[in-house]
């Protein structure tokens, strides 16, 4: 339980700094258009048909995220565990109209209510 709470706090810090770095016009436009969305594993995914530009955008952001997760992971947590907790938080931070991946692996559009997240999310 303590590890989960510590991971959550660290993940929120990493997510906040990563989100600020990602808010470039291409990212914001793709997110608003529903072309990209948050995945449960803590990484960004392409919704629908991938284009070279979307692939490059998503790959660049995911490289930055993995580096941030690697810097923050520790105290008995793996990068994958830290990324998962970050994914829980990133999905929770989506805004109505934005895409996110459900626990079943399908893409959903965030409505006014809370998104459907993995039951392991704290």
Interval 91-121: pLDDT, tens: 999 999 999 999 999 999 999 999 999 999 9
Return the ∠ at Cα 21 (arms to 9 and 103), rounded to 5°. Answer: 55
pLDDT band at 17 (very low <50, low <70, confident <90, very high): very low
| E strand spans, 4-121 | 36-38, 44-46, 99-101, 107-109
Whether residue 90 lies inside any domain: the answer is yes
Residue 114 forms part of a structural domain? no
Question: pTM of the full predicted structure?
Answer: 0.81
- Cα 71 to chain centroid, rounded: 16
In a domain, 117, yes or no: no
Query: What pLDDT is attached to residue 12?
Result: 57
Residue 89 lies in a domain: yes
- On whether residue 119 sits in a domain, the answer given is no
Domain encompassing residue 27: 2-109
């Amino acid at each position: 339980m303590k590890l989960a709470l510590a991971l959550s706090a660290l993940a929120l810090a990493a997510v906040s700094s990563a989100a600020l770095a990602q808010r470039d016009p291409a990212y914001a436009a793709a997110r608003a258009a529903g072309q990209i969305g948050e995945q449960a594993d803590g990484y960004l995914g392409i919704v629908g048909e991938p284009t070279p530009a979307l692939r490059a955008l998503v790959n660049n952001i995911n490289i930055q995220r993995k580096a941030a997760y690697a810097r923050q992971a520790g105290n008995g947590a793996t990068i994958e565990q830290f990324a998962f907790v970050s994914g829980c938080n990133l999905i929770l931070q989506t805004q109505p109209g934005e895409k996110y991946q459900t626990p079943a692996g399908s893409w959903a559009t965030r409505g006014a209510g809370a998104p459907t997240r993995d039951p392991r999310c704290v």
